[in-house]
Chain A
Amino acid sequence: MNFLRSGWATLQKDMRIEWRGRARAQGALCFATLVLLLFSFAAGPDAVTLGRHAPGYVWLAILLTSTLSLSESMRVEMDDRALEGLRLLPVDMRGFFLGKLVSNALFLCCIALILFPMSFALFEVKPTLGFARLAGVVLSGSMAISAPGTIYATMATQLKARDILFPMLLFPVLVPALVASVKATSLVLFGDPMHEFGGWMSVLVIFAFVYSILGIVLFERIVEE
């Protein structure tokens, strides 16, 4: 009960803080858009090449933006030692992690919600398997980035060189999630004649699930240490 209540309270709190600091969210969105545009400039004007690599560009833009949003999400907790205040209440840190994970994933979903329509316009692609499957990939991919992201962002906030160390810790871990997200998105956009979509989605969901459970189990120890 405490676990769910802590999770819900954290989600509500984070949503409210995010809404109040809309400028930060807008900044992250601008960054994501710029990254997407830069990738397309770097790839050149060939529409076929751009279209083929569109899923990779979008997911790399989401991944790079996630380093900003995840760091920011934990910075709020470290300002004025707010997280220490919650620990001393005491708040169930497993629930806190779950709430944080969901709020971070929702933020990435919002970024994806803007980036995907942009990519459809820029790269002249559309989801041939339908929007519902694309939404499934976005949701699973966001959870898969946020679960280890929330763990490592928390660990990194306690380090001096956190801005450098956080992406260095996170990116290698996220390789399977990134590959699965890009592959699943490619299948949604360009068709799935070999019926591979389910396999890649399973990789994404299992990855997100495993790291969510790891976070729930380890988060208290991470913040206590």
Chain B
Amino acid sequence: MSIQAHHLARRYGRHWALRGISLTIQRGESVFLRGANGAGKTTLLRVLSTALQPSQGTLCLFGLDAQTHYHEIRQRLALITHHTHLYEALTAHENLVLLKNYGLILSTQELQSALARVNLKKHAHRPVSEFSAGMRRRLGLARMLLQKPELVLLDEPFGQLDVDGVQLQEEIITDFKQRGVTIIMSTHDHDRGYALCDRELWLDGGILRGATP
């Protein structure tokens, strides 16, 4: 089992962004998370990634308690959000080398092929501050590929990408599915969501309203 959540809730000040979320997601499942703006999709993904601590409830990922074993859990997941987690002053290549410097086991070849996969090889030595939003998303994808995750949390993964970028994203998601990676994806592009995922979760006002098998 990849994810087991019981009565998860998250509060920002007085506002409850999530309330009473209980869900179970099996290893290798791909889940489409849908809901209107402000429904709590981003907050849920950030809580599930352990980037945010829940205000209430319990969360287990890979059979480990997220509150106490978040170091081990984080080694096995990747989160893609509107924020690409990149340093603007560093080049694309340096941003990826940073993963290696911080202890991720990567070969130079893996690094080069990740850049090539997202079509940024010729821009490898340009600072990220010169990149368009779409190029940053692509670099974020390269970063995710290098992390070799078992669980991928994608928040609006098709946003800001051009046609080729969207196709690349779809290929990567399909590739992950074939390799048995668990995927949770929130998107307003319902057609793609239904096409790429096995089942859906519907969030409304921070509450899980429905789930289809």
Contacts and interface: CB of A to CB of B under 8 A. Distances in A.
Interface of A: 2, 5-6, 8-9, 12-13, 16-17, 20-21, 76, 79-82, 84-91, 224-225
Given A16-B89, A88-B85, A90-B71, 16 more contacts: A5-B102, A12-B101, A16-B90, A17-B87, A17-B90, A79-B88, A80-B136, A81-B81, A82-B86, A85-B143, A86-B85, A88-B78, A89-B74, A89-B102, A89-B103, A91-B102
Of all A-B residue pairs in the complex, the 3 with the closest CB atoms, nearest first, are A85-B85, A9-B101, A81-B83
12 contacts: A9-B101, A9-B102, A12-B101, A13-B87, A20-B127, A79-B87, A80-B136, A82-B86, A82-B87, A88-B74, A89-B99, A89-B102
A88 B79 CA distance: 8
Given A6-B103, A80-B86, A13 B51 contact: no
B104 interface: yes
Interface of B: 49-51, 53, 70-71, 74-75, 77-79, 81, 83-90, 94, 98-99, 101-104, 127, 136, 143, 147
Contacts of A88: 49-51, 74, 77-79, 85
B75 A90 contact: yes
B104 A90 contact: no
**Which residue, of B51, B53, B104, B147, has the highest number of chain A Cβ atoms within 10 A?**
B51
Q: Is the interface of A mostly helix, strand, loop or mixed?
A: helix
Q: Is the interface of B mostly helix, strand, loop or mixed?
A: loop
A9 B136 CA distance: 22
Nearest to A224: B53
B96 to A, nearest CB: 12
A161 to B, nearest CB: 15
Nearest to B153: A88
Contact of A5 (B71, B89, B103): B103
A83 B127 CA distance: 18
Contacts of A224: 53, 70
B92 to A, nearest CB: 14
A89 B104 contact: yes
B98 A13 contact: yes
B102 A6 contact: yes
B126 to A, nearest CB: 12
B178 to A, nearest CB: 24
B99 to A, nearest CB: 7
B127 A82 contact: no
Contacts of A6: 102-103
Contacts of A86: 85, 102
A88 B51 CA distance: 7
B53 A80 contact: no
Contacts of B49: 88
B87 A76 contact: yes
A85 B50 CA distance: 11
A9 B85 contact: no
**Which residue, of B49, B90, B101, has the highest number of chain A Cβ atoms within 10 A?**
B101
A91 B84 CA distance: 17
Nearest to A84: B51
B53 to A, nearest CB: 7
Contacts of A90: 70-71, 74-75
A87 B88 contact: no
A218 B78 CA distance: 25
A80 B102 contact: no
A85 to B, nearest CB: 3
Nearest to A86: B102
A90 to B, nearest CB: 4
Contacts of A79: 87-88
